[in-house]
Structure 1
């Protein structure tokens, strides 16, 4: 498989999970988007914010492209909390914008390239040694969160997202 075909396949898998997340959140009522259904206390909009900041922006913008963490919100687990008064559409637009920026970054880096800003502890284990393993990690993360949203959606309104 060529590098271009491999990147296309990886991005297809990632984009499938991203669309799943967006579809589940958009299908919820405004109240349900901001309601925690599980004991851990996260909300569907909070999960979208987490995916925006901790997955799309951190892994692709910071780790792969070497960008700054100056966007990171203050406070414990702040990436999971939507500031009061933030419209739902703004949270979803930020996710879509981060996705577009991530895709541009991924199209400009070889799959074998080392990340420009790895965490120091990765050197000892060889974790996240290249763009490919980082994309795979984000596919897993996004897919896991999509599955969590499936459970939350079914608890909230009975809706089910059937993947064929």
Structure 2
């Protein structure tokens, strides 16, 4: 039994476990970078690690999980570049906002069936027909961006995630 008196959804728990691991990967890589590298772009498109965290916070977690899946009325700013983190927001505040939005996303998913339809859609032809499909999209997007941060981190300071030191 789960906390809500029903049968536990092990598939949803497993997917959320993987998503939470990728979310931690994001935070860990940003925290491991030198502070000056967090605001620097390492790619021609110009995004920065700080901007990537902002994108994941607003465009991925808030938009897909809370607005689309749960149908919550959330602040979805228009006319902004979701890849730009406010200069007056510290790295700690930026990461705390991401963690808070991830927790709200998990809460939004708690009572939803994976086979249910998303509660809100923003145009006439939904890309995803079930909560499961949206959750998989969020997991893949987060994992993809975690890989982007791995490359940025290595370019910033040579740090490599999951590389074991070998004796000389």
Partner residue, 1:51: 56
Tell me which moved more, 52-61 or 154-163: 154-163
Note if 1:94 corresponds to 2:97.
yes
Matches within 5 A, 1:70-89: 70-72=75-77, 74-75=79-80, 78-89=81-92
Alignment of 1:11-160 (within 5 A): 11-72=16-77, 74-75=79-80, 78-123=81-126, 127-160=127-160
Normalization by structure 2: what TM-score? Answer: 0.88
Q: TM-score, with normalisation over the residues of structure 1?
A: 0.90
Give the Å deviation of 1:130: 0.8
CA RMSD of aligned residues (A): 1.7
Say which one has the larger Rg: 2
Structure 2, gaps ≥5 residues long: 1-6
Q: Which has the higher helix share?
A: 1
> What SS is found at the alignment partner of 1:122?
coil
Note the C-alpha offset of 1:91.
0.5
Give the whole-Å Cα distance in 1 for the aligned partners of 2:50 and 2:91.
7
Query: Runs of 5+ in structure 1 lacking a partner?
Result: none
Deviating 4+ runs (over 2 angstroms)? 67-71, 119-123
Deviations 1:71-100 (A, max 9, x none): 42533xx11001122111111000000000
Cα deviation, residue 162, structure 1 = 1.7
Measured after TM superposition, the shift of residue 67 of structure 1 is 2.2
